[in-house]
Structure 1
Amino acid sequence: MRKPFISLILIVLVGLTACTASNGEGAGITVAIPADPDGFHPHHSVAAASAEIAFNIYEGLVKAGADGSVQPALAEEWSISADGLTYEFTLRPDIMFHNGRPLEAEDVIHSLGRLFDEEVTAKAREFAAVDTLEAAGDKIIITLSRPDAAFLALLTEFGASIYPREAEEQLDTRPVGTGPFVLTDWQPNNRLELTRFEHYWQDGLPLLDTVTLQIIPDPNTAVTNLRTGHVDLIPRLEPDYMHQVEEEPGLKFVEGPMNLVQLLAINNAREPFDNLLVRQAINYAIDREEIIEGAAWGYGTMVGTNLSPAMGEWYNPEVDEIYSYSPEKARELLAEAGYADGFSAVLHLPAPYPLHINAGQILAHQLEQVGIELSLEIIEWSTWLEQIYQNRDFELTVIGFTGKLDPHSIIGRYQSDSSRNLNNFDNDEYDSLIRQGLEATDPAERQEIYRQVQEILALDAAAAFIMDPNQIAVMAGDIEGWQNYPVYVLDLAALSRR
């Protein structure tokens, strides 16, 4: 299905200098991103926009691979004890920070010690199993109080980045890491400049000298700048704009599952959404196929849970059949819940993400058919992060939860005491199963547990899960080395120009 393109937006080229002075290695590129980071301190930032850029500035002991595996980073190797309680990492020699100082074991102890401290960061709740953290020469030894099957994957995330201990107070705006690029300039709501780190430990990388990250919230403007050569790469093209560039000469595309789940987040702690029947009615009232076609132009896969089919064996396909589209069933449930005449609510939508706005508009029309009147409020990203994500001051919102390497890192957010529990979901059986899943050492047992928790998420209607939209990266034809990842990062180190 293809829709006619209608735009009431005046297109203005973003004022940029020439994208590159030369081809090949050592050149520069300009990348369009939709939102400004919320800072670069690994323990403070919550925005995906920060994490995707930080992948090029910081490194942890381990990192995510493009194939979804855990790869060595600052640790050249590691071992795990037979009981799953002791992790021993061997640091690489001769690693340099961007400030010119060598990496020391004390920096790892400082960075991870603060990450594991609940008085420092809410992210510490994900590491509740950590008992001790110590250094012995070039070894970092972490002991757990109980097995945690997600622990190694958690160490690949932005929060587990290692930084020089003396830089603690500056990291929000002036990050210092060991990664392939240095942040040399940041003009908020305008652009960021990354420059090649000459002392990067991995031989030959990065291939580019500079990367300009141009903040362009309007995808129409981003596409126009791509077509005119003012931008070289759009990592996540909104599907609505694919028709503008799919026949454009000199451009190429890399498409695949994003491992991101778009959902209608429901505040389970607010009336009337604290009523299970109301949440189930909302799920029956939603035609997910219409949203995929109408908001994503068909570039997406329907989901029934907060795991994507891209997670392979972890995904439970049976949940896809729980809520077939049935407005009649939705009306019956609303009447049973005491809302035969329906009700009204506010649906907040994040401004930088047209996919979520388009989905929200379709959702509003669908829910109207069963008596639920939605007022749409489009809010700026910084406001969304503070009001909706951090303070949970909302009724309904459309958002995408990014994928991770381990299923717990995705669906663990629905634990009642999780700092990431946006939906305020509260289910004792779910909490218990999540804990069992972390401690299970048998992969088959763990897989069965996560199949059960996905059923609970669906049957209890924690949210209305919609789709995993495809990631469509579009770029100048001379750019080489781009890879889509199953996590929300930009890997700029291996990019070059032909």
Structure 2
Amino acid sequence: MAQHQGRSPWRWAIFLAVAVSLFALLWVAWSLADRHVPAPWGEDVRSDSTVAVGLRDAPKSLDIRTERDRPVGQALLDNVYETLVGVDGRNRLHASLASSWKTSSDGLTYTFTMRRAITFSNGDALDASDAVWSLQQAIQQHRPGVETLGKLTNVANPDAHTLVLTLGEPNPRLLRALSGPIGIVFDRDATINYTSQAMGSGPFVVAAYTPGSSITLRRNPKYAGPDPASSQVTLRYFATDDAVAAALHKGEIQMGLPDTIDLERLRGNDSSLSIAQDNGTRTVLIGFNADPSSIFSDQRVRQATRHLIDVPAAINGRHDVATRLGGPIGPLEPGYEDLTGLFPHDSAEARSMLSYFSSQYLGTVVFLVPQEYRDLGEALTQQLEQDGAFGVDMQVVDDATMATRLTDGNYTIALTTLEGDESAGTFANADSVFRYTNGTAQRQYRDALASTNDKDYQRHLREFARTVSQDAAADWLYVSKDQALVKSRLEGYQVAMSGARLRVENLQVK
């Protein structure tokens, strides 16, 4: 008995040690199989979960260097490729591959400090020399967006961690330009086929690509930042919105970004789906054809039309409205000012202004409307025809036809959209599809582009936007929301600005 009592504590100690070890092994196995959870001894155990996202417009190729269409940037920016300057979901600039930067007082020299210990997905080191080479290639090959760099006279790297850009004249849009595809840093030693392959320094690599069908992104083991929440994210492309919805209902994808704004219809009675919305930068507007042969070349006709249209009534109940708009610059863009009060709805004032013109002179307005905005077009048509103000021939057209007819000037007015980064400049360009020209506005826009600091840049932009709005170059209606259908177990999604940059780094199914 005495001998048995003496050994008992040791036996209990051995039993407890074995039990603790087994529990720890089971815990780790569960963590690895289920989700991204830190192990008890402090190491990071990565999740092997996968996510699939449904989209409509597939990239024509993966060559983000030469492809002008937005889908390639939507898929690869921030996921596979990183830029010198980053931009967040509120369109604010922040550090990315460049950890900081300084601008000279004359606005002609930008000095960037590059992050250290960054590599491309093949293990090659990324430093300032790669940034110099990437910008030189963009300039020499005149790649899309190179004009946003302005008069760049010299690109140099005095050391591996410093990039210096010298301009011949100020360009207050340079930092924002470097947050887009023109600011991507490529590996100068890479030998890949960029049309079907991609290699950057971002959190993912392209593991598979089926043109027009899917892009499979897998975790980049060389990424310098935190591991993506999921080991694999597949972007799948569908021919119709209904096909995106069907894949969501079947659980084949966990997130869908249809083209339509009517996500309630696509969701149906599926309680596992929710609608996620956030601010976008797309402007919905009525563009006026100001060609000298058009009645909308007359300022009074344009201004009367803005008074005639009751914007709040026309857009009431629409699910995609983020912010009413009264000018060419949205709330997420530099130089924004609320200009919605300049042309309040006033039918009497509109009729008085139009009374100077005969009905024969005004004729019938050819109103182009995209298929997606048919209901809005019908509401606006009713307002334009009120009390016989205008005769309206509303023509619903597909996107390709819309683009062709705008370019050819084969329209009177058009319900159309512009992205925030192009909206203002469109009305400073007399050769745009709207044929609008105003000497004062064009001078104000040139003054903005000649600014040596952001404060002056935004001040001149506000002056320009007010001039253009008062002159009724168009009737800006609203900035639309970015929207998505999301399965209930999906976490880490960011909908804001997802039409341009679909960040999938934090996507994870719980």
TM-score range (shorter-chain normalised) is: 0.7 to 0.9
**1:490 correspondence with 2:509:** no
83, 87, 97: which one pairs with 2:106? Answer: 83
- Mapped partners of 1:148, 1:126: distance in 2: 8
Q: Which runs of 4+ in 1 moved over 6 A?
A: 166-169
Distance 1:465 1:261, change over 3 A: same
1:491, CA displacement in angstroms? Answer: 0.9
Query: Is contact 1:255–1:471 with CA below 8 Å preserved after alignment?
Result: yes
Structure 1 residue runs of 5 or longer lacking an equivalent are 1-20
Distance 1:168 1:375, change over 3 A: farther
Q: Where do residues 49-448 of structure 1 align in structure 2 (5 Å cutoff)? A: 49-55=71-77, 56-98=79-121, 101-103=124-126, 105-116=128-139, 120-121=142-143, 123-138=145-160, 139-165=162-188, 170-204=193-227, 206-235=228-257, 238-242=260-264, 245=267, 248-269=270-291, 271-272=293-294, 273-293=296-316, 296-297=318-319, 299-311=321-333, 314-317=335-338, 319-334=339-354, 336=356, 340=360, 341-345=362-366, 347=368, 349=370, 354=372, 356-369=373-386, 370-380=389-399, 387=404, 391=407, 394-395=410-411, 396-403=413-420, 411-416=424-429, 421-441=432-452, 445-448=456-459
1:198, CA displacement in angstroms? Answer: 2.4
- Mapped partners of 2:34, 2:420: distance in 1: 36
Distance 1:324 1:151, change over 3 A: same
1:223, CA displacement in angstroms? Answer: 3.0
The residue type equivalent to 2:54 in the other structure is A
Distance 1:372 1:179, change over 3 A: farther
38, 57, 67: which one pairs with 1:45? Answer: 67
464, 467, 470: which one pairs with 2:478? Answer: 467
Bigger shift: residues 40-49 or 193-202:
40-49
1:64, CA displacement in angstroms? Answer: 0.6
1:112, CA displacement in angstroms? Answer: 1.7
- Mapped partners of 2:139, 2:325: distance in 1: 33
- Mapped partners of 2:419, 2:127: distance in 1: 32
Distance 1:78 1:316, change over 3 A: closer
Q: Secondary structure at the match of 2:100?
A: strand
Q: Secondary structure at the match of 1:202?
A: coil
- Mapped partners of 1:437, 1:365: distance in 2: 39
- Mapped partners of 1:177, 1:136: distance in 2: 23
Bigger shift: residues 363-372 or 83-92:
363-372
- Mapped partners of 1:332, 1:314: distance in 2: 33
Q: Secondary structure at the match of 1:258?
A: strand
Distance 1:269 1:165, change over 3 A: farther
Query: Is contact 1:68–1:485 with CA below 8 Å preserved after alignment?
Result: no
Query: Is contact 1:237–1:471 with CA below 8 Å preserved after alignment?
Result: no
The residue type equivalent to 2:366 in the other structure is A
Which digits, 9 at most, give the CA deviation of each residue in 1:227-268, with x for residues without a partner? 332221134774422366497433344433323321223343
TM-score (norm 2): 0.78
Distance 1:96 1:348, change over 3 A: farther
Distance 1:244 1:485, change over 3 A: closer
1:489, CA displacement in angstroms? Answer: 1.5
Distance 1:269 1:281, change over 3 A: same
Alignment RMSD, CA only?
3.4
**1:28 correspondence with 2:45:** no
Query: Is contact 1:403–1:486 with CA below 8 Å preserved after alignment?
Result: no
Q: Secondary structure at the match of 2:424?
A: helix
- Mapped partners of 2:146, 2:264: distance in 1: 40
1:465, CA displacement in angstroms? Answer: 0.8
Query: Is contact 2:205–2:220 with CA below 8 Å preserved after alignment?
Result: yes
Q: Percent identity?
A: 21
- Mapped partners of 1:384, 1:200: distance in 2: 42
Bigger shift: residues 369-378 or 144-153:
369-378
- Mapped partners of 2:433, 2:63: distance in 1: 22
The residue type equivalent to 1:345 in the other structure is V
- Mapped partners of 2:374, 2:453: distance in 1: 42
Structure 2 residue runs of 5 or longer lacking an equivalent are 1-32, 37-46
TM-score (norm 1): 0.79
1:345, CA displacement in angstroms? Answer: 2.0
Q: Secondary structure at the match of 2:199?
A: coil
Which digits, 9 at most, give the CA deviation of each residue in 1:134-188, with x for residues without a partner? 2223121101223333221221112322223466994344343322223344444
1:331, CA displacement in angstroms? Answer: 4.9
The residue type equivalent to 2:392 in the other structure is E
- Mapped partners of 1:388, 1:73: distance in 2: 40
- Mapped partners of 2:349, 2:343: distance in 1: 10
- Mapped partners of 1:168, 1:269: distance in 2: 49
Q: Secondary structure at the match of 2:466?
A: helix
Bigger shift: residues 227-236 or 461-470:
227-236
Distance 1:53 1:225, change over 3 A: same
- Mapped partners of 1:337, 1:175: distance in 2: 59
The residue type equivalent to 1:412 in the other structure is G
Q: Secondary structure at the match of 2:216?
A: strand
The residue type equivalent to 1:29 in the other structure is V
Which digits, 9 at most, give the CA deviation of each residue in 1:422-453, with x for residues without a partner? 43432222222123223445655444322221
Which digits, 9 at most, give the CA deviation of each residue in 1:50-88, with x for residues without a partner? 322221222211111234332222223323234332112
**Larger RCO (alpha carbons 8 Å, 6+ apart):** 1
- Mapped partners of 1:175, 1:49: distance in 2: 15
1:375, CA displacement in angstroms? Answer: 4.0
1:393, CA displacement in angstroms? Answer: 5.3
1:27, CA displacement in angstroms? Answer: 1.6
